Amino acid sequence: MTDAAVPTHCPYCALQCGMSLRPTADDPGVEVVERADFPVNRGALCGKGRTAPAVLSSRVRLTEPLVRRSAGGPLEPAGWDEALSAVAAGLARTRADHGPDAVGVFGGGGLTNEKAYTLGKFARVVLGTSQIDYNGRFCMSSAAAAHQRAFGLDRGLPFPLADIPRTGCVILVGSNLAETMPPALRYLTELRENGGTLIVVDPRRTRTAEQADLHLAPRPGTDLALALGLLHLVVAQGRTDEAFVRERTTGWPEARAAAMAHWPEHVERVTGVPVPQLREAVRLFCDAPTGMVLTARGPEQQSKGTDTVGAWINLCLATGRAGRPLSGYGCLTGQGNGQGGREHGQKADQLPGYRKLTDPAAREHVARVWGVDPDALPGPGRSAYELLDALGGDVKALLLMGSNPVVSAPRAAHIEGRLRSLDFLAVADVVLSETAALADVVLPVAQWAEETGTTTSLEGRVLLRRRALSPPAGVRSDLRVLHGLAELLGHEKGFPADPEEVFEELRRASEGGPADYSGITYRRIAAEDGVFWPCPGESHPGTPRLFLDRFATDDGRARFVPVVHRPAAEETDAEYPVLLTTGRVVSQYQSGAQTRRVDELNAAAPGPFVELHPRLAERLGVAEGDRLAVVSRRGRAVAPARITTAIRADTVFMPFHWPGEGRANNLTNPALDPTSRMPEFKVCAVRVEREETLGD
């Protein structure tokens, strides 16, 4: 480590804010300093970013391997040779006894591109298993599927964030940027300062919705009907861009016919959004010279998420708000490397470069880079929830890296049971998460500040995180872990531990694919504040803006996809009369495995709560702070009441960052989108019961 501050990026969300790390004499050895030159956040950081070094402290992290030496016994400290040998033996024994698909691999959207690439290669080449997926499936898989259907290519934002303040109108659907990506809120503030308008769609009046010119608060699970109702009004009012539709799209007659079945009064009954607000939204969006629709987990984490996003894309296409400067549809990716994580091989059906595992040419290309027979590569496996649900059945052993499904998976108590039923579980993580605590072997791995590697932000900008200090003596990088396991399992070559060497191979594997990184190097990233993919060749400038000349389909035209509204997988009834929706709070992140170890963040957000409207609270006889039990068909969660008019009277909200009795994902519905295999996190039917008041 040098005395100079090292430029790097935040370890948390897909905004990947620039920061620098300056060495200190105190534990954990570095502190965050502002990096004002990085264009995305321009020095601004949220509390999670500012306090990120706290998790580097040896007081809160894993610093040596742990092994469970007897069934039902405790996890005990072990050396690396013993731990790696135990993992290799557990995986090999399962493979020999039950076949390669009895071994599963589960990755994470926080892993760097190098780690995601190597993990996918390890699963398919060393283990020979098809059973690999990652928690990014729970993030933006519905948007990815809709992107592919409509545009032929999936990148979260097909334009830089810097374009947002320069457009005329933004419709923000199911995103609370003020709490999930606080430094990005400035783009919406600047939009309005520049004379643009902001429409926020959210069943809660969040801090982000407070900034809007118009807030639409639909009933959870009805975003699809809302989008179709807006498109109906666009057609009825003659606001379609006929020239754009004719010259740059296909499938409009069928999509138009589907939308026309969703007349405004019907949409009001379904969504609860008044017709005058629907008309005002169309006026604001269509009167603006340019416009964007940005979606996030709200519309995407539904059993019809792909069709819901598709309906918003149809609205953009019908109004000519796609494939043009300062216009388009984009998805606000959540996890730090949710974009790159699925581009390079963690996803059940994909090979590096966003190639399809079922494409013979893709298999041949990647197999040639890997030095294996294409026929030896397994086919597509199960999606994330389906893989977790199969644990203890025909999937008997699991290697898990960078994920905490005991807290983050839907129907979480059931998934915890499936993890407990495994013959063998190995977890690589930086902390002893709730999932790691169940493992037979826990491998302590290095963190963001202790290793170099690339991530791909929500803009499609490939970035370089730089090593600023050395990890503790008992900690190894994920790449070194996979190198060691591959060696023990008979693959002495092909799994380097050096991240730049891995990235050079990734470049070759991605070359010619939809996500082509072949022109991106560590040197270029460092010199250019990141490089936007696709970048086919080192002389290529990268592609900040997609689709301006043509879409990534065979004929260059975008595809309208006809969709119709359908109810959520689970509707309310007399037994479960209230809707539950879930989300995040500003001071915690995802399953909270890391942020719950930071004192400052815990002081701001110490635990779960149930947000409910005063009318519902009155009906239940509930006061602020009372303990509430929220019960669904899958489980129960208990947390104190937080009464607010910022939520619909037919809906309650819970954040999902905590384990224990307040674990919100005990309740959520694993009903899957038929295309993306995304679970329906964002809506399920519950009942709410008052328990004893806190402090009684």
Cα distances from 630 to residues 51, 243, 245, 647, in angstroms, run 32, 51, 47, 16
Cα distances from 674 to residues 88, 144, 209, 397, in angstroms, run 35, 13, 31, 27
Cα distances from 107 to residues 112, 134, 201, 413, 438, in angstroms, run 11, 4, 31, 20, 17
Question: Quick one: three-class SS letters along 396-440?
Answer: CEEEEECCCHHHHCCCHHHHHHHHHCCCEEEEEECCCCCCHHHCC
Domain boundaries in the chain? 6-56, 66-138+337-532, 141-331, 578-693
The pLDDT score that the predictor gives to residue 691 is 86
The pLDDT score that the predictor gives to residue 334 is 83
Asked if residue 40 lies in contact with residue 185, where contact means CB atoms within 8 angstroms, the answer is: no
**Rounded CA gap, 15 and 44, in Å?**
11
**Rounded CA gap, 561 and 255, in Å?**
6
**DSSP letters along 496-535, please?**
-S-HHHHHHHHHHHHTTSSS--TT--HHHHHHHT-EESP-
Could you name the CATH architecture of 141-331?
3-Layer(aba) Sandwich (3.40)
Identify the CATH assignment for 6-56 out of 3.40.50.300, 2.20.25.90, 2.60.40.1170, 2.60.40.420.
2.20.25.90
Three-class SS of residue 638? strand
Dihedral sign, Cα of residue 428, residue 432, residue 435, residue 438: positive
Query: What are residue 355's phi and psi, to 5 degrees?
Result: -80, 150
Q: Which residues, in sequence order, are CB contacts of 411 under 8 Å at separation 6+?
A: 634, 635, 665, 666, 668, 669, 670
Q: Which residues, in sequence order, are CB contacts of 615 under 8 Å at separation 6+?
A: 649
- What distance lies between CA 242 and its chain's CA centroid? 35
Q: Which residues, in sequence order, are CB contacts of 4 under 8 Å at separation 6+?
A: 22
**Rounded CA gap, 188 and 165, in Å?**
6
Helices and strands (DSSP H and E) totals, the chain: 23, 30
pTM here is 0.96
Three-class SS of residue 566? coil
Residue 411's region, left for phi above 0, alpha for psi from -120 to 50, else beta, is left
**Rounded CA gap, 264 and 232, in Å?**
8
**Rounded CA gap, 48 and 16, in Å?**
12
The pLDDT score that the predictor gives to residue 256 is 98
The pLDDT score that the predictor gives to residue 694 is 42
Three-class SS of residue 395? strand
What pairs with residue 465 in β-bridges? 453
Amino acid at site 10: C
**Rounded CA gap, 443 and 66, in Å?**
7
- Give the tens place of pLDDT for each residue, 493-521: 999 999 999 999 999 999 999 999 999 99
Could you name the CATH architecture of 66-138+337-532?
3-Layer(aba) Sandwich (3.40)
Q: Which residues, in sequence order, are CB contacts of 477 under 8 Å at separation 6+?
A: 445, 446, 450, 451, 471, 497, 499
DSSP designation for 215: E
- What distance lies between CA 44 and its chain's CA centroid? 22
**Rounded CA gap, 681 and 670, in Å?**
7
The pLDDT score that the predictor gives to residue 2 is 52
Residues in the chain, total: 696
* Radius of gyration of the CA atoms of the chain, in A: 24
**Rounded CA gap, 103 and 105, in Å?**
7
**Rounded CA gap, 250 and 243, in Å?**
12
**Rounded CA gap, 404 and 408, in Å?**
6
What is the maximum alpha-carbon separation in the chain? 71
Q: Which of 144, 142, 146, 124 is nearest to 133 (CA)?
A: 124
DSSP designation for 459: T
Query: What are residue 426's phi and psi, to 5 degrees?
Result: -120, 135
Could you name the CATH architecture of 578-693?
Beta Barrel (2.40)
Dihedral sign, Cα of residue 82, residue 87, residue 88, residue 92: positive
Which residues of the chain, if any, have pLDDT below 70? 1-2, 692-696
The pLDDT score that the predictor gives to residue 342 is 87
